[in-house]
Structure 1
Amino acid sequence: MSELPMNDRETEPLIDKASPDFKTCSVILTWRNGAKSRADFSHMVGEGIFKSFSDPKFFNHVELTHDGRALTWPKGIDFDSLLLWYTANPQTVPLGLKHHLPSKSPFAPKSVMIAPNVGG
């Protein structure tokens, strides 16, 4: 099991790097703890505000904000690092939070781990 890549306040996981792949409409995330996950947004392309994801220039314009606490695109599209971490690592979700995660929502990314925590 990957350990949660916490920030100094130990409240949320942080992302070090985001590498978009327009062909698969996914973003490879490298976490502060060395783990890697893939956030798949392909099921959102063309839906509402995510219509812009069908444009490669737009999709590839993803950025990290707030010291790695979120992925963001223009037009106010953003995803919290905690959501991205927990969807890729459901075994790390505290029991009290399980019912709050939008895992069945069409507007939640489908995330999976692709490399465990290499540092721990």
Structure 2
Amino acid sequence: MATLAELADRFALTERPAGNLLDAAGVLAQAIAAANFYAGYAQIISRIPDPLVIPAAAIPSIADTTEISESEWALIRSLFMLYVERETALQLEASRGLGMDVYGRASSEVAADIMQMELELPHQAFVGLIVTV
């Protein structure tokens, strides 16, 4: 499992080094935001407390050190990429006043995709135990 910081760095430095206007902290913030949204609908494996510890430890908050499994990242990554695209679009739109040409999609277009992804993610993240009687 990789931490959110490692996954954000991998994205910023190897997957999308060109065209990404966000700094490392900005990319990490979007990874944490996407993981927080995912955690509302599914348990992140690394945050499940050990049942043998008495009293039970508090569930840690999601931070840069939170470990994410490959299957969790497969679901979180799409939302994360949309969050990064929205932040990039917002920065580009803000720079329009300085005379810069804006490229890519507008933040409102990305926001529509984010809303759609946020509606689909609960269904994708749902896991139900199979119980037979």
The TM-score bracket by the shorter chain reads 0.3 to 0.5
Structure with the larger strand share: 1
- Kindly name which structure, 1 or 2, has the bigger radius of gyration based on alpha carbons: 2
TM-score (norm 1): 0.37
